């Protein structure tokens, strides 16, 4: 069961996981050791899945975002697993979801320029059969992040 201090710690860690333990402890009104124990408990119980570094995409040379909507005629477990393996091996695909509705999958692709999408597209279709692919280029990022709401956790 999480309390308000746990939620505050999780919020602060989502904003910047590199914050010094002393600063975190001060901001949630805990001793250094109590704060450290709480964070360790949050990690051990799975509330903190991992700590990562978020890179600047412009500096990394992949400023373009494209979303590909995919339809397939195949829905077997074997096909899905093959598709999962294919996209896992393509670093430009940073996110993928199976959907309800008119399309089966959506993948988020980060690229150096829009023309590079053809390279990614060919890597997929050479290895797995697709029925239809529709791609849309992101014109502007209105909201982006990795933080999730902490108020719903028990």
Same domain? For 61 and 40 the reply is: no
Domain contains 154 = no
3-class DSSP assignment, residue 75: coil
Q: Which pLDDT value is given to residue 1?
A: 87
- pLDDT of 44 higher than 90: yes
Domain contains 51 = no
Domain contains 121 = yes
How many CA atoms within 13 Å lie on the side-chain side of 19?
21
- pLDDT of 102 higher than 90: yes
Structure tokens at 122: 């060919």
Q: Which domain holds residue 65?
A: 57-137
Same domain? For 128 and 90 the reply is: yes
- pLDDT of 154 higher than 90: no
Domain contains 80 = yes
Same domain? For 68 and 130 the reply is: yes
**DSSP of 85-137, one letter per residue?**
HHHHT-TTEEEEEE-SSS-SEEEEEEESSGGGHHHHHHHHHTTS--SEEEEEE
Q: What is the CATH number of the domain that holds 18?
A: 1.10.10.10
Average pLDDT over residues 20-28: 96
Domain contains 117 = yes
pLDDT band of 67, cuts 50, 70, 90: very high
Number of domains in the chain: 2
Same domain? For 73 and 104 the reply is: yes
- pLDDT of 128 higher than 90: yes
Same domain? For 125 and 62 the reply is: yes
Contact (Cβ atoms closer than 8 angstroms) between residue 5 and residue 137: no
Domain contains 23 = yes
Q: What is the pTM of this model?
A: 0.89
Contact (Cβ atoms closer than 8 angstroms) between residue 66 and residue 79: no
């Amino acid at each position: 069961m999480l309390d308000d201090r746990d939620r505050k710690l999780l919020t602060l860690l989502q904003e910047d996981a590199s914050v010094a333990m002393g600063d975190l402890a001060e901001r949630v009104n805990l001793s250094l050791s109590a704060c450290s124990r709480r964070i360790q408990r949050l990690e051990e119980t799975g509330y903190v899945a991992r700590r990562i570094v978020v890179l600047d995409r412009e500096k990394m040379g992949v400023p373009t975002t494209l979303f590909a909507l995919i339809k397939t005629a195949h829905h077997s477990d074997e096909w899905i697993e093959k598709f999962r393996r294919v996209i896992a091996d393509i670093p430009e695909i940073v996110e993928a979801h199976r959907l309800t509705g008119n399309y089966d999958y959506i993948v988020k692709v980060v690229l150096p320029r829009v023309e590079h999408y053809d390279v990614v597209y060919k890597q997929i279709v050479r290895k797995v059969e697709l029925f239809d692919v529709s791609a849309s280029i992101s014109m502007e990022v209105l909201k982006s992040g990795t933080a999730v709401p902490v108020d719903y956790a028990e």
